[in-house]
Structures are given as C-alpha cells and as structure tokens.
Structure 1
Amino acid sequence: MSSHAPRSPFRAGAGAALGAPALAMGVSFLAFGAAVAAAGLGTGWALGASLGVYGMAGQLVLLQAAGTGDPTGATLGATAANARFLPMAMALAPWLGAGPRRRWLALPFIAITPWAAAMRVLPGLPEAARLRWFLGFALVSWLVAGLATWLGLLAAPWLRPPLLAALLFANPLYFALLLAAEGRLPASRLPILAGIAAAPLAVLLPAAWGLLAAGLLGGTLAFLARRPWRRGGG
C-alpha cells in the first residue's frame, strides 16, 4: 500500500498541499492580487476572480479586459483561456474512485497544481480514499490561492512590475519542472518545449489574445510533434 494512504486520506491530501505546491501557487496568486490593486480594482473583484475563476490564465485575461467595459468579451476570453480544464477533468475523473455523483464535489477545485498532484498520487491509493485525498489537497490549495491574493493586495505598494511578472510565472514553472522531471520519454517533454517556443506570442499580440494564441500554437505544435512517437511505440 502506498505511504500516501493513512487512516485519514483528507488530512493526508491537505498535508501534501502544503510545502512546494502551496509556495508555488502562493507567490503566483500574491502577484495577481498586487496586479489587481495596481489596476485600481478592489478586494471583492480580486477574490472573486481567484476563487471563482481559479485559473491564472483566465484570471489574467479577465484582468486585462476589465478596463475595456466589455463584460461579454472578458467572460468569453477567460472561459476560453481556462478551457484546458475540461480535458484535465476528463482525465482525472476515472481516478477519483467514487460514484459519478460524488465526483462532482471535485469539479470546482480542478486546477493545474491539484490535478498534477492527483494524477501522480491517486493511482497508488485505495479506491475508497482517492476522492477524499483529492478534496483535502484541492481545498487547501484553493484557500492558499484566496489568502495569497488578499496578501498581494496588501503588498502591492512594495512590489515592482518586473517582480510581479516573475512571481506570476512561479506556478507554471513549478508545473513544467514537475512534468520534465517525471517524463520518461523525450516526447513527454515536448509540450513544455512547444510552450516555450510559442511564448513570444503572448508579448507580440494584444494582451487579450496573446495567452490564447500562445497556448493554441504551443498545444498544436506539441500534438503534431508527439504523433511520430506514438506511431513508433505502437
């Protein structure tokens, strides 16, 4: 039995969320809170975006579009930026080990960090413990996101734009390093390399579309690059 399956899976998951995952998420959401303050928006807006949207790409698109006065465009842009959560949820659902109705409890908390942790840990847990472990990890991560956002609002006067930009990328960098470290085949690292190659689009294109275009191009490149590896492994 895995060491990740003690008597209380919920508490084990909550404990696993503390440490590197909480630090990576915390600094990114702290930077987001500071960016919201710099844009002249309030605490309610910041916490609503962090706890409701709960996806940094979508939150940034929403923030960039907040000053345009176009709520429809902002909503559509944030939804498209976080569309990656649909395939993530589909991949995770079979590993939650609970009935279809109970799996819906996990839906609001699916984000990069909880998803990556769950895909690594859940296969080694007893089926009855999987959903509780995920909810423990995900709830702590969600609370860290809200707390860090609030702290970012308070710390905004002391955070300069270059530092904010670096902090915003802490969580994606942690996720990329996690994937790179665990990849056994060169093909498993291709999405990271493709994302790096497409990243300049986020700077060259208008702010509202840069992240979407970079994600679309990077994902397409990774998909096309992986096809030869799949044929060779079959």
Structure 2
Amino acid sequence: MKNGETAGSARHWFLAGMMGIFSLPATILMLSFVGFCAFTAQAGIPVEQVVFMVGAVWALPAKVILVSSILGGANVLTAFIAVTLSSIRLMPMVAALVPEIRTQRTPTWLLLLLSHFVAITAWVFAMERVQSVPRERRIVFFAGFGITLVLANMTLVGVVYQFVTEFPPIVAGCLFFLTPVYFLASIWSSARHPVIYVALAVGLVAGPVFYWIAPEFDILLAGVGGGTAAWLAERSWRQRKEARA
C-alpha cells in the first residue's frame, strides 16, 4: 500500500467499509429504493424532497409509512406517531451495535452521529463483520459502510426518478413490491426472538383489516395492535411453559 497506508490504518478500514456497497444486502436495499422511488414518483412527490427524505429519514420502512400516511390523508400527528413507532425498533439495534464498535476513547457525539445510519441492512452487515475488524478501527469501518450506503441511495434515487415515471405500471409495481418483501425478509432473518415472528404474522393479517375499518389509521393500528397482541401471546405462552416446568 502507498503513502504509509497499512492493513490497520483508518483509511484502509474506511475503504473496506465502503466496499460493502457491493455486498448482497446493499444490492437488495438499492433495488428496493428503486421501487420506493417509483412509489414516490407515482405519488407526485418532487424528486428533491425524495432525495432529502432518503438522507434524513434513513430507514426505508419509515419512509414508506410516511408516504403512505400522506397519501392516505392522515394528519401530521398521526404520520409522526406512525413513523416514530416504526423507528423505535432501531433502538435495540443501536444498543447492540454500540458496544461492538466503540472504544474507551470514542466520543459520544460520534456514536450519536453514526447511529443515524443504523437500519436493518447496516446493522446486519456490521454485526456479521465487525468481529474481524480491529476494535480501534470498527468505528471507521461502520462509518465507511453507512455513509456510502446512504449517499449511494440518495444518488440512485436522484438519477432514476425521471426514468421510473415512464415505467409501465406492472414494472413499477414489481419494483415497489421489492420494498415490503425486503423489509419482511430482513426482519424475519434478523429476528432473534419468537415474539417478532408472531408480530409480523399478526401485522400482515391486521393491516388489511384495519385498512378497511379505519384507512387513516391502518398502519398505526396494525403496528400497535399487532405488536401488543404478539407480546401478550408470547407472554402467555412463556407463563404456561414456566407453569408446566
């Protein structure tokens, strides 16, 4: 390597993180963003707002919920609550990742900054690979991947926006379908507790039901109701198991 760059240098590990953009998880996410771009284009949201949304509201499901709430006629408060509830799931991911990448000298402001890039793809990618990275370089490794992933998707959305508007409806529909498929597959594969599987199943059933009953609050009700029902079911199952033991 040139200019004194070594295998343990910060530059080396930042570039190693950047190369994660060519991984399968990153590729699937970028394809999903093409589908999201088609969704926003058909919804009539200007491209500059979509690009800003990609960078500011990083988690893809949160963006889908935000746009869906707007199209469904939900008020600002309802949309805010729905997006907030969908993003609460990222808190345990941050709590699990931070001990793996920080050192005693890592400033808090840097951890807070990098937490913005924590979503399913970045979290799964980092948790699978940071063990092979020297601890003092894990921050720059994750920063390289997270920053590159966000900027790549912002660029992708800005470039393809004008083309997806010309896609046949069936093509746009298939591309957008990648978004929920990716979301469900990622959550399912990264789940570490049975209650998550139950919550997904209940949510899939409750979503269409609540859309028919209360279209303006369908996502919020399905999320809160599905999660609560899953928690109660899992708690009841655990209590019966402990009683039998």
TM-score (norm 2): 0.75
**Structure 2: gaps of 5 or more residues:** 1-5
Instruction: Give the number of equivalent residue pairs.
Output: 221
2:83: which partner in 1? 78
Counterpart selection for 1:145 from 142, 153, 170: 153
Q: CA separation in 1, counterparts of 2:92 and 2:146?
A: 18
Tell me which residue corresponds to 1:40.
44
d(CA) in 1 for partners of 2:148, 2:228: 29
Partner of 1:184: none
What CA distance in whole angstroms lies between the structure 2 residues aligned with 1:209 and 1:57? 16
| Deviation for aligned residue 1:27 | 1.5
Amino acid at match of 1:44: E
How far has the Cα of 1:131 moved from its partner? 0.6
- What RMSD over aligned residues (CA atoms) do the two structures have, in Å? 3.1
Mark the CA change 1:172 to 1:33 in structure 2 (over 3 Å): closer, same or farther. Answer: same
Using a 3 Å threshold, how does the CA distance of structure 1 residues 220 and 200 change in structure 2: closer, same or farther?
A: closer
Counterparts of 2:228 and 2:158 in 1: how far apart (Å)? 32
Q: CA deviation at 1:191?
A: 2.6
Q: 1:46 offset after TM fit, Å?
A: 0.9
From the superposition, tell whether residues 17 and 225 of structure 1 become closer, same or farther in structure 2 (CA, over 3 Å).
farther
Pick from 82, 102, 108: which aligns with 1:97? Answer: 102
Equivalent position to 1:221, from 227, 230, 245: 230
For residues 28-85 of structure 1, the C-alpha deviation after alignment (integer angstroms, 9 at most, x for no partner) is: 1111111111111101221122111111222122112324373333233222221212
- Opposite residue 158 of structure 1, the aligned amino acid is F
The question of whether the paired residues in 2 share the 8 Å contact of 1:30 and 1:150 is answered with: no
- Cα offset, 1:170, TM superposition: 4.2
Q: Which residue in the other structure is 1:156 paired with?
A: 165
Matches of 2:102 and 2:166 in 1, distance apart?
46
Contact 1:26–1:145 (8 Å) recurs in 2: yes
1:193 Cα deviation after fit: 5.6
C-alpha contact (below 8 Å) 1:61/1:208 kept by paired residues? no
1:224, 1:215 → 2: CA distance? Answer: 15
How far does residue 134 in structure 1 lie from its aligned partner after superposition?
A: 0.6
CA distance in 1, matches of 2:74, 2:207: 22
Percentage of pairs with the same residue: 21
> Amino acid of the residue matched to residue 13 of structure 2?
P
Counterpart code for 2:81: L
1: CA distance, partners of 2:96 / 2:187: 18
Aligned ranges for residues 125-136 of structure 1 at < 5 Å?
125-136=133-144
Gaps of 5+ in 1: 181-186
Is contact 1:10-1:132 (8 Å) kept?
A: yes
Cα 1:87–1:143, aligned 2, differ >3 Å: closer, same or farther? Answer: same
Give the alignment of 1:133-212 within 5 angstroms: 133-154=141-162, 155-160=164-169, 162-176=173-187, 178-179=189-190, 188=193, 191-192=196-197, 194-206=199-211, 209-212=217-220
The aligned counterpart of 1:183 is none
What residue number does 1:124 align with? 132
Decide whether the 8 Å contact of 2:13 with 2:137 is kept in 1.
Answer: yes
